[in-house]
Structure 1
Amino acid sequence: MQATAWTRGPVGIDMIGRVTRNGCKTVLVLVPTMTAGTRLLDLLPVLDGDHRVQVVFTMPSSEDVWHGLDGFVRDLGALVLPWDQARRHNWDLVLSASHDCIEHVHGKLLLLPHGAGAGKSRKRTRTVTGGVLPTTGLDRQLLTRRGQVIPATIALPTEADQALLRRTCAEAVPRSLVVGDICLDRIMASVVHRSRYRAALGVGDQDELITISSTWSPESVFGKHIELYERLVVEAAHAQTKVAAVLHPNIWAVHGRWQVRSWLARATARGLLVIPPERGWQATVIASDIVIGDHGSTSAYAGALGGRMCLAAFPDHNIRAGSVGHTLGRFAPRLDPDAPLRPQLDRVRARPGSTRLREAISARPGMSHRLLRTAMYRLLDIPEPPWPVFVTSAPIPIPLDW
């Protein structure tokens, strides 16, 4: 087998002959999935403007790969190192929002959750053999290797997550830090741009935007009620209503863009706006008047915004008590997919919004970027920049042009 060529980047014993900025601290960004990558894109702008830091990306390689991941990372315009090269270098800081392959990198690791809550909402997760295993997302087998805790710092959204960690991997608690939720903070900071997001989606001030959000798995909206997408644009829409679809990146990765387009072809022909997985879901949620969802993180963030939302699918039998999903299931109204949709949505819109999910998602509202920047520079062992942390706005949504 031919060895993978190494990239002539700003690392390695011979880098001095090619770099322009010398002496930079090196930061490695692990992107094993698009979900993990998009979460880290909420964080990386805190390094903007610092000439002392060089950031490079890599896609950890294992026995299987996610379709579309390479294009997602390459389109960022970042320097991407082959996995074999990245795992043979010593890094000043490693950033990851996934447990995948973290034991194979060398450097101080900052580990973030990739969704709402550090603990999984589902009680059990699927395995490659089709079985199910109990999991919390903070289990000892994920965080340790040969009896040693792998991350240097574990970023947690709430004290409840820290209490869960104490039960599942007590030796990792000293390395944990409650920092809130960086994604929620970016969403809240972007609410001021709601009118811009609506305009980008073709939604006027007097128009209504209904968004269907789906996580992946057969228990999701897309898995159980794919017919809702076409029904909604037919039954619930009128001249001043638009309908958008936000699908979990793993739906696209597992089934492929061509197949998703084919499955939604009749709905898109009637006007469904499909938001690409790599860009625009946060802005679309902000722009929405009603969000229809399931147990996924996007539904939880929609609920935390205080807007009108409801659940069209929800696996009550597989939701872990005390999780963000559990809180979502307690307070969000249910949509009956077999009943007429418009009357149900009118009732949802008439309900007052609630912010009860915010406390379940974040114990440090508005503070996550500042707290995480402090943690990152502590691990880098250099002073923080003198300028304040700036939270970048969520990117403008651009529906797919099919």
Structure 2
Amino acid sequence: MLVAVRSAVALYRLLDVLPVFAGDPRVHRHFTLVPGSEFDVDALAAVDAAGARTLPWDAARRRSFDLVLTASPKGALQLLRGERVLLPHGAGFGKTVPSEGSAAFASGLDPAYLDTGDGALALYALAHPDQVADLAARSPALADRARVTGDPTLERLLAARPLRDRYRAALGTGGRRLVVLTSTWGPESLLRRRPELARDLLAHLPCDEYQVALIVHPNERSRMGRYELRQHLAPALDAGLVLPGPYEEWAAVLVAADAAVCDHGSTALYFAAVGGDRPLVGAYDGGGELLPGSPVATLLEQVPHLRHPSDLRQALAAYRPGTAAAAARAAFAEQGRALSHLQRELYALLGLTPPPGPVEARPLPVPGPAPRTVAAFDVHAEVTGGAVRVTRVPGGLGPAGHHLAAEHGAAGERATRTAAVLYRRPQPAPAAPHASAWRADAWTAHVLDSYPAARVAAALLDAGRGLLRLRDGSLHTLRLAPHTHNGRLEYADPAAAVSALHAWHTLHGALPAGRLDCLLGEHAFRLTLEQPTAHDRAHPV
């Protein structure tokens, strides 16, 4: 069997299909790169990253194969010998590329690409009966070779839903709301049309209430390159943006998400199908690329539109339950059965009996955390009664607040020298046999001596506990209790509690005598102060 790849995104789709052959020694997989795509360099790198061996194109043309599996109708596929199986590499056929093929059709339903004249197309595996009907209206002969098998990528997303808590833990989401931005590729993509949206959202959304991720289409990653993309997004990445990888990791982040902000790309439909009717809002409608009447066009017509980053909360609240689920039903049939259907169809073409037992989607791996954590915060604080409401946003992205808080050793020198609150997070255990560390009490004294602008220094010792030193030299142990919400224990960043204490001390000239509530969004976290123990003072930091 030959796997013919034209782009990285097409390869990723085929990798989601290939488990139907897993464990069968009768099936041998060869990969080749179909020439002609501007994204072929990343396609070759993706094949290599998958650990697959590549057959040169000229060698692939000279051989015959029992099956040729591809996820793009473009390229000189007619030069390959073998029965051809085509799958879409996206969802919903909602986008046209006016500079290619027929402007009125998505390439996956465009007879200009599908009818290669060699009669080798044996199966077109589609996700919904409406897609077969659309194809029949344009080419009845091609529609005769189409079957509704479902979507293998959606299969993996659906199978991953029980792992949602694990994904959120790996991302460090905690009790925050994870908002995912999704961008397709090309000049009408969200990333091109609203390139500052990720940064602007991070400037408006409190860090203790929201986490933001951006899913970028593999073609756009290929166009820009990894370095250029990260430079383009540098302010947002510094502010804690999660940028998942283009294979598997993006899907795990989508499963973990609480809400999505989308353009007209396929990812909007995948979120609609897997999100459990969580809110979805549109941020760009695709301009001339959006095909009217497609599932994603209908979805974008019916969901709220985000006009300004500061309006996100209102847009999410305006989402009408049921809208996303209806769009998903219009794009995906046979949900949960795609791999079984594909196995039956593919083995029939091979003339083989499938191996015994069910074929199951492979679990999505756990995603990695944000590449950078926020090292300095503009802290807005409001003291009311026995509570302090703390709202933190990444330093420098928005207006200055009550004070600046910075992580010593992670924030830049400018932020460190001007911060009123300096803190140090727990350090990883040293790997080397020889190491040194500060005592917590000595470190807090050293920092206040070194940085005259600082009023408070705090060594965060472990979850919910820290050693706090004021400018007057007094030492206190801080304890921050978790908040219980719907049976879950949710832990806040103790650095936010340090800022709450600083705001209280600034107003009252003393620390609170009893408990203090640190208000973060809708939740209250109980904060208490104690006399430091010898263990707290000597804790290595």
| TM-score of Structure 1 vs Structure 2, range by shorter chain | 0.7 to 0.9
CA contact (8 A) 1:180 1:361 kept: no
Separation of aligned partners in 2, 1:228 and 1:299: 17
Higher relative contact order, structure no. (Cα contacts within 8 Å, ≥ 6 residues apart) = 1
In the other structure, the counterpart of 2:384 is none
Answer yes or no: is 1:258 the counterpart of 2:258.
no
CA contact (8 A) 1:66 1:254 kept: no
In the other structure, the counterpart of 1:20 is none
Separation of aligned partners in 2, 1:356 and 1:172: 28
Q: Which amino acid aligns with 2:35?
A: S
In the other structure, the counterpart of 1:392 is 362
Answer yes or no: is 1:34 the counterpart of 2:8.
yes
Answer yes or no: is 1:122 the counterpart of 2:95.
yes
State the shift of 1:351 in Å.
Answer: 5.4
Q: Matched residue of 2:2: which SS? A: strand
In the other structure, the counterpart of 2:166 is 196
Q: Matched residue of 1:80: which SS? A: coil
Match of 2:24 among 10, 35, 50: 50
Which runs of no fewer than 5 residues in structure 1 stay unpaired? 1-26
TM-score (norm 1): 0.86
State the shift of 1:182 in Å.
Answer: 1.6
Higher mean alpha-carbon deviation, 59-68 vs 170-179, is at 59-68
How many residues get paired? 368
Q: Matched residue of 2:243: which SS? A: strand
In the other structure, the counterpart of 1:77 is 51
Separation of aligned partners in 2, 1:231 and 1:73: 35
Pair 1:71–1:340, CA change in 2 (3 A)? same
Pair 1:223–1:79, CA change in 2 (3 A)? same
Trace 1:323-338 onto structure 2 (pairs within 5 A).
323-337=294-308
Q: Matched residue of 1:134: which SS? A: coil
In the other structure, the counterpart of 1:377 is 347
State the shift of 1:68 in Å.
Answer: 2.3
Separation of aligned partners in 1, 2:151 and 2:63: 30
In the other structure, the counterpart of 1:286 is 255
CA contact (8 A) 1:276 1:400 kept: no
Separation of aligned partners in 2, 1:75 and 1:399: 21
Separation of aligned partners in 2, 1:278 and 1:87: 28
CA contact (8 A) 1:312 1:334 kept: yes
Trace 1:164-203 onto structure 2 (pairs within 5 A).
164-203=134-173
CA contact (8 A) 1:67 1:254 kept: no
Separation of aligned partners in 2, 1:44 and 1:260: 30
Trace 1:1-400 onto structure 2 (pairs within 5 A).
27-62=1-36, 64-101=38-75, 102-117=77-92, 120-127=93-100, 133-136=103-106, 137-146=108-117, 148-204=118-174, 206-305=175-274, 306-315=277-286, 317-337=288-308, 340-348=310-318, 354-398=324-368
Q: Which amino acid aligns with 1:126?
A: S
Separation of aligned partners in 2, 1:158 and 1:132: 22
Q: Which amino acid aligns with 2:242?
A: L
CA contact (8 A) 2:180 2:260 kept: yes
CA contact (8 A) 2:262 2:283 kept: yes
State the shift of 1:144 in Å.
Answer: 1.9
In the other structure, the counterpart of 2:504 is none
CA contact (8 A) 2:32 2:60 kept: yes
Q: Which amino acid aligns with 1:50?
A: D
Q: Matched residue of 2:173: which SS? A: coil
Flag the structure with larger Rg: 2
Q: Matched residue of 2:85: which SS? A: strand
Separation of aligned partners in 2, 1:249 and 1:216: 8
Residue-by-residue CA offset, 1:5-43 (whole Å, 9 max, x unaligned): xxxxxxxxxxxxxxxxxxxxxx11111111111111111
State the shift of 1:98 in Å.
Answer: 0.4
Q: Matched residue of 1:375: which SS? A: helix
Q: Which amino acid aligns with 1:109?
A: R
Pair 1:115–1:109, CA change in 2 (3 A)? same
Q: Matched residue of 1:281: which SS? A: helix
Separation of aligned partners in 1, 2:35 and 2:111: 22
Higher mean alpha-carbon deviation, 339-348 vs 308-317, is at 339-348
Separation of aligned partners in 2, 1:149 and 1:160: 23
State the shift of 1:375 in Å.
Answer: 0.7
Separation of aligned partners in 2, 1:389 and 1:369: 7
CA contact (8 A) 2:3 2:32 kept: yes
CA contact (8 A) 1:211 1:288 kept: yes
CA contact (8 A) 1:210 1:241 kept: yes
State the shift of 1:261 in Å.
Answer: 0.7
Q: Which amino acid aligns with 1:53?
A: V
Higher mean alpha-carbon deviation, 85-94 vs 259-268, is at 85-94
In the other structure, the counterpart of 1:10 is none
CA contact (8 A) 1:212 1:246 kept: yes
Q: Aligned residues: percent identity?
A: 34
Separation of aligned partners in 2, 1:229 and 1:281: 16
State the shift of 1:66 in Å.
Answer: 3.1
CA contact (8 A) 2:42 2:222 kept: yes
Q: Which amino acid aligns with 2:95?
A: R
Residue-by-residue CA offset, 1:197-240 (whole Å, 9 max, x unaligned): 11121112x22111111001222211111111111111023214
Q: Which amino acid aligns with 2:294?
A: S
Q: Matched residue of 2:82: which SS? A: strand
Pair 1:321–1:382, CA change in 2 (3 A)? same
Which runs of no fewer than 5 residues in structure 2 stay unpaired? 373-541
State the shift of 1:396 in Å.
Answer: 2.2
Residue-by-residue CA offset, 1:95-152 (whole Å, 9 max, x unaligned): 11101232121111110011013xx31355324xxx9833233222212233x43311
TM-score (norm 2): 0.65
Residue-by-residue CA offset, 1:252-285 (whole Å, 9 max, x unaligned): 1111111111110011111111112234111111
